[in-house]
Homo-oligomer: A and B are copies of this chain.
Amino acid sequence: MKKQHVSHAVIRRLPRYYRRLTNMRDAGIERVSSTKLAESLGLTASQIRQDLSCFGEFGQQGYGYNVEALRAEIATILGVDRGYNAIIMGAGRLGQALMYNFNFAAHGFNLLAAFEGDTEMVGTEITGIPVYHHSKLEEFAAEHPIHMAVLTVPQPVAVETADRLVALGVKGIWNFTHVKLVINDPTVQVEKIHFGDSLLALSYMMSEE
């Protein structure tokens, strides 16, 4: 179903569509026009139709979208239904904050384990997820396929940790460190989360008044 060359901008908008449609579904809304959906996202209806046209035909002319059906289609496009396994490398403050507050399952990821250095966390469970010493990573990976790893290790070990993950066949790294990773394997995707971009957008909005 997917076409080639879906732009970066479209890839960034899809999660927003998914999030909005999930909220609509949870609010009991069954049908939405592209105009209404666009308005709620600060986009134009033609933008949304154009974005979705990258992936096939959705909705009926003059009839709008079935919220649940469109949501399910976008879930499939985003890979939410693939059952990816995930681990967390680094159960420090940020790693723990994600374990306590972020719903991996709702985004299609099964969080299997966390790995830490020589800290008191090792051997415990956090929110039901076991924390192992990082030296056990390869042993663990031999028994459980790992598709994605959250990188919340300290800066100095970010690169060597990423290299270990790539060697184990991990296909996605969610990078929360400040280190820019250079991965030579083109099948490995790295997503860096930029808190700063969000704060600067807020700063802009505060300065606009």
Query: A residues within 8 Å of B by Cβ?
Result: 2, 6-9, 11-12, 14-16, 18-19, 42-43, 77-80, 82, 84, 92-94, 96-98, 100-104, 106-109, 147-148, 171-172, 174, 178, 187, 189, 191, 193-209
Contact = CB atoms under 8 A, between A and B. Distances in A.
A189 B107 CA distance: 27
Contact of A79 (B94, B187, B206): B206
Nearest to A79: B207
Nearest to A200: B15
Contact of A108 (B102, B104, B172, B203): B203
Protomer copies:
2
B203 A80 contact: yes
B174 A2 contact: no
12 contacts: A15-B194, A15-B200, A15-B201, A78-B204, A78-B207, A84-B203, A84-B206, A93-B93, A106-B196, A172-B203, A189-B205, A191-B198
B172 A191 contact: no
A196 B107 contact: yes
Given A79-B206, A148-B206, A191-B201, A100 B108 contact: no
Given A147-B206, A171-B206, A172-B206, A107 B199 contact: yes
Contacts of A194: 15-16, 19
